[in-house]
């Protein structure tokens, strides 16, 4: 019993003083986080000014997300507030990342008007770990380039891309791009297409191995001439298209051989693959070249013997 000494407070008085519910203070007191300093004549628990300060600390730590066990360990001096805070920062960062992914997935679902099956798949793909995402891309590129040691290194690097990793704060567009990329590389038809392109690219690279940069220079010319013709509405079967092929390739070019090399590549899925990598990794999307190569292939089919 405490009759004299420092001012003391009952649980009710402490509740009015701090604004905390009586049941909360009683619970913290029952579990030992806020022990009373004594009892009143009527048997009520009493608390002093130090308990008030202790209660304020308990409330602050709880508001910051500390568990009751963490609070007890801090009050018992088994750990420090700083040490627990450091652990909580890491945990909160992980939760924030998860919430951002959830928000992005939900935005994608709303935009796509996804059904139940697609929603489940998108959520699963978006929440893969960095290692799992990397494994998906590695499996894809390993299959595409298996046994092709002489493939153009520039092409190989482009296909593999920078790590297809979502940032800590992904935008809905990036989550959407990752989901689409994962679906694309799992498609057997797309894998077969990329394998054929890699094989053709490997053969072409052997022939051009003494001319570094030749492929990029050719691609730029295709974009300039064939792309320009396509934009102007020049028909691939027209005499003007034949003249453009001569300007692009030269008068003695083996058009049949070139058609065989590029015939598998004018596919919008290939361009889409590189666009998705750009979105995920946050760099500028490459300019579209698919339409130019499609026009070139169509023109070569008509004028292959010219």
pLDDT at 4: 56
Interhelix angle 255-262/290-302, nearest 10 degrees: 140
pLDDT at 156: 76
Q: Kindly indicate whether the domain formed by 11-79 is annotated with CATH number 1.10.1660.10.
A: yes
- State how far the Cα of 197 lies from the Cα of 279, in Å rounded to an integer: 23
pLDDT at 2: 45
In the chain, list all ranges with CATH 1.10.1660.10: 11-79
Q: pLDDT tens across 124-160, in order?
A: 777 777 778 778 888 898 888 888 776 667 777 777 7
pLDDT at 210: 45
Q: In tens digits, what is the pLDDT along the chain, a chain of 306 residues?
A: 445 557 888 999 888 888 888 998 888 888 887 888 888 888 888 988 888 888 888 888 888 888 888 888 888 788 888 888 888 888 787 777 777 777 777 777 777 777 777 777 677 777 777 778 778 888 898 888 888 776 667 777 777 765 556 676 777 788 888 888 888 988 999 998 888 878 776 655 555 544 545 555 677 778 788 888 888 888 989 989 889 888 888 887 888 877 776 654 556 788 788 888 888 888 776 666 777 888 888 888 888 866
pLDDT at 275: 84
């Amino acid at each position: 019993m405490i009759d004299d000494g420092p001012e003391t407070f009952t649980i009710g008085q402490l509740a009015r003083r701090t604004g905390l519910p009586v049941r909360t203070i009683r619970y913290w007191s029952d579990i030992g986080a806020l022990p009373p300093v004594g009892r009143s004549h009527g048997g009520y628990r009493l608390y002093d000014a130090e308990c008030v300060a202790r209660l304020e600390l308990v409330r602050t730590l709880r508001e910051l997300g500390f568990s009751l066990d963490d609070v007890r360990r801090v009050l018992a001096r088994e750990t420090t507030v700083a040490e627990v805070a450091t652990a909580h920062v890491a945990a909160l960062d992980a939760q924030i990342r998860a919430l951002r992914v959830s928000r992005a997935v939900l935005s994608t679902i709303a935009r796509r008007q996804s059904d139940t099956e697609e929603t489940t798949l998108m959520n699963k793909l978006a929440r893969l770990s960095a290692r799992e995402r990397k494994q998906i891309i590695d499996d894809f590129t390993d299959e595409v380039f298996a046994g092709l040691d002489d493939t153009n290194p520039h092409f190989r690097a482009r296909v593999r891309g920078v790590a297809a990793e979502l940032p800590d704060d992904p935008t809905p567009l990036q989550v959407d791009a990752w989901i689409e990329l994962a679906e694309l590389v799992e498609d057997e038809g797309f894998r077969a297409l990329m394998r054929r392109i890699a094989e053709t690219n490997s053969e072409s690279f052997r022939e051009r191995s003494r001319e570094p940069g030749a492929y990029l220079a050719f691609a730029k010319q295709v974009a300039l001439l064939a792309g320009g013709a396509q934009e102007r509405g020049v028909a691939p079967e027209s005499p003007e298209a034949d003249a453009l092929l001569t300007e692009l390739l030269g008068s003695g070019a083996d058009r049949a051989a070139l058609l065989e090399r590029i015939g598998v590549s004018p596919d919008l899925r290939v361009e889409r693959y590189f666009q998705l990598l750009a979105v995920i990794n946050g760099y500028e999307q490459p300019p579209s070249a698919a339409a130019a190569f499609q026009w070139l292939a169509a023109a070569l089919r008509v004028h292959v013997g010219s």
